[in-house]
Amino acid sequence: MKRPFSLHLFRLAAGTAPALLLVCVGTLIGYLSWRGAPTLRLSLFFGSTPVWDGLTGARPVWDGIWPACAGTLCLVGLTLLLAVFPGVGCGIYLAEYASPAWKRRIGGAVNMLAGMPSIVMGLFGFSLILLLRHSVAPRANTGMLLAASCLALLVLPVLVATTREALEAVPDSLRLAASALGMTPARRLSHVLLPISVRGIGGGVVLALGRAAEDTAVIMFTGVVANAGLPAGLTDKFESLSFSIYYTAAQYQDQAELLRGFGTALVLLGISVMLLCAARFLENGYRRRWRGGDA
Amino acid sequence: MKAAVEMEDVHVAFNGRDVVRGVSASLPDRGISVIIGRSGCGKTTLLRVLNRLNEEFPGCRTSGRVELNLGAGPEAVYPAPGVRPRPLPELRRLVGMVFQSPNVFPVSVFHNIAIPLLTVAECPKSELADRVRKALEDVGLWKDVMERLHMPAEHLSGGQQQRLCLARALALEPSILLLDEPTASLDVHATAEVEELLRNLAERYPLIMVSHSLRQALQMGDRLLVMENGMLTHRLEGRASTTERELSGLLGVAPERLL
């Protein structure tokens, strides 16, 4: 039987879409590497400061991106620390315990938060500091903790949604089987449902992580600066890779500086990939423990 | 023979719709009791009365008297004035259940049995390996999986998965076993294996089984309970005293039709 023309067209389109995706990603990484890779030397990270002194912060690094790397890592870590518990917890509540009415209400609030542009979140953080200054804490200032809190708000909806979806994807037959064995709802959650949905929840954490590493709009209002040295404390200003890329792109003086910007972008990409691999590694270890063998 | 199950005027309704209407029955503590009836007649709901699993679904109301012998004489299962039944987790540990399609947890073979043992039976870690082994031996699965205990349980065949589900229930040392169409999703060969296993288990446990097949009901059942429209309409004692044709007459369906 001859296939209808529309089916051929559909198959062609279905084949083209992934090819297009590969070409786009390839071009992006290729271009970044072509411009950025030649600048990937120790001097990109530490400038003219001796490596060990720069690494430990014994001497300030003036024209290298190491402080920005450290700033990004601290910021992402702190953001996850603040966001994972409430995000995953809220997802669990929505999937397992909430009544339909509360599901609607909380789900709506989470969707609204998800639709919030990051610049608005930054402005929110900034106005919060202004409010604090004029009321209870006249010395309050923008810094790492404020930036991480605002970023946590930004990534919270991703964590809630992926946790909820992962739990709701567990077939009802398994819930019933666990109940029929005599597991209490809490045991059922901790020993059956969460281990099964850990992959989905892990995926949400990775997404949140990427979002926190790349965002510039939020931190621009809440404490990032071009030159701060290594992150010093929760209330201090800090540097970050995403802001340093933005700053370089806007203010570069010569071609060499622009190329260093490409190098910085490549480093940010590398850090994101590294964090992603770390998350996968942890998750696989966890899965091996439960599922065993070749799963 | 002592009774394992006593039911009197049991009604179950979901959101006001009656599913089981006024069932009374007494089932002895040995042998296989088979509940049979057309689909939608309420046989699964009646089975789930015994381990109160209907309460996992919203809008469920159960009334009537249900007593089970869980090793210490007959005891009420549902709360009533002056009656405090066992907590749900304990009841369900003592009333094992196996479902229509094998619902192994997507973890290793070992963990499938170990997780309920640890969380429900509070089995000490030192005894864990022994009790997992014993449960697998009870269902004749030990030789098949002893080398592959830490492989995902989903890699087992359908029949093996169903036997693993049985082992999971047996590991908790139940007093009664409920089986909800335990062979409905299995092929002929696996069905024969599971039926053979159930016959052996019937010597140690009272088995209450919902069946989808007249042949199975007649071959396996020591007594048959025929349900129609939420009510028990007939009770047949003894094996092979009835033919498929007579039974299908009672059910009002052609014998070759599956229920």
pLDDT band at A291 (very low <50, low <70, confident <90, very high): low
User: Which residue of B60, B115, B161, B168 to mutate against A (max A Cβ within 10 Å)?
Assistant: B115
- Of residues A57 and B184, which shows the higher confidence score? B184
CB-nearest partner of B105 from A174, A294, A295: A174
pLDDT band at A234 (very low <50, low <70, confident <90, very high): confident
Structure-block tokens of residue A292 = 């065993």
Question: What does residue B89 show for φ and ψ, rounded to 5 degrees?
Answer: -55, -40
Question: What torsion, rounded to 10 degrees, do the Cα atoms B14, B19, B24, B28 define?
Answer: -90
> Residue A120 has what pLDDT?
93
> Who contacts B185 (Cβ-Cβ below 8 Å, separation ≥6)?
B100, B101, B102, B158, B162
pLDDT in tens, A248-290: 999 899 998 899 899 999 999 999 888 888 888 887 877 776 6
B106–A196 CB contact, under 8 Å = yes
B108–A192 CB contact, under 8 Å = no
Alpha carbon of A289: minimum distance to chain B alpha carbons (Å) = 9
Percent of chain A, pLDDT > 90? 53
CB-CB neighbors (< 8 A) of B148 in chain A: 293
Chain B: residue nearest A293 by CA? B151
Question: Model ipTM?
Answer: 0.88
B172–A181 CB contact, under 8 Å = yes
Using the Cβ of B162 and the Cβ atoms of chain A, whether some distance falls under 8 Å is answered with no
> Residue B241 has what pLDDT?
66
Kindly tell me the number of DSSP H helices and DSSP E strands found in chain B: 9, 10
pLDDT in tens, A26-36: 999 999 999 98
> Who contacts B145 (Cβ-Cβ below 8 Å, separation ≥6)?
B109, B136, B151, B156, B160
CB-CB neighbors (< 8 A) of A180 in chain B: 51, 53, 92, 97, 99
A293–B150 CB contact, under 8 Å = yes
Determine the distance from the C-alpha atom of residue B202 to the mean position of all C-alpha atoms in its chain, rounded to a whole number.
Answer: 12
Sign of CA dihedral A14, A20, A23, A28: negative
Sign of CA dihedral A233, A235, A238, A241: positive
Print pLDDT tens along chain B (259 aa).
Answer: 688 999 999 999 999 899 999 999 999 888 899 999 888 889 999 999 999 999 999 899 999 999 999 988 889 999 988 888 999 999 999 999 999 889 999 889 999 999 999 999 888 889 999 999 999 999 989 999 989 898 889 999 999 999 999 999 999 999 999 999 999 888 898 899 899 999 999 988 999 999 888 888 888 888 889 898 899 888 888 765 677 767 777 776 654 444 4
> Residue B114 has what pLDDT?
93
> Residue B72 has what pLDDT?
85
DSSP of B158-215: HHHHHHHHHHHHHHT--SEEEEESTTTTS-HHHHHHHHHHHHHHTTTS-EEEE-S-HH
User: What span, in angstroms and rounded, lies between the C-alpha atoms of A71 and A147?
Assistant: 11
Q: What domains does chain A contain, in order, with CATH numbers?
A: 66-290 (1.10.3720.10)
CB-nearest partner of B115 from A175, A180, A191: A191
Average pLDDT in the A210-238 region? 88
CB-CB neighbors (< 8 A) of B150 in chain A: 292-293
CB-CB neighbors (< 8 A) of B105 in chain A: 174, 177-178, 192, 196
pLDDT in tens, A121-180: 999 999 999 999 998 888 888 889 999 999 999 999 999 999 999 999 999 999 999 999
User: What span, in angstroms and rounded, lies between the C-alpha atoms of A153 and A83?
Assistant: 7
Is the pLDDT at A114 greater than 80? The verdict is yes
pLDDT band at A51 (very low <50, low <70, confident <90, very high): confident
CB-nearest partner of A291 from B53, B90, B152: B152
User: What span, in angstroms and rounded, lies between the C-alpha atoms of B213 and A135?
Assistant: 77
Average pLDDT in the A234-259 region? 90
B93–A187 CB contact, under 8 Å = no
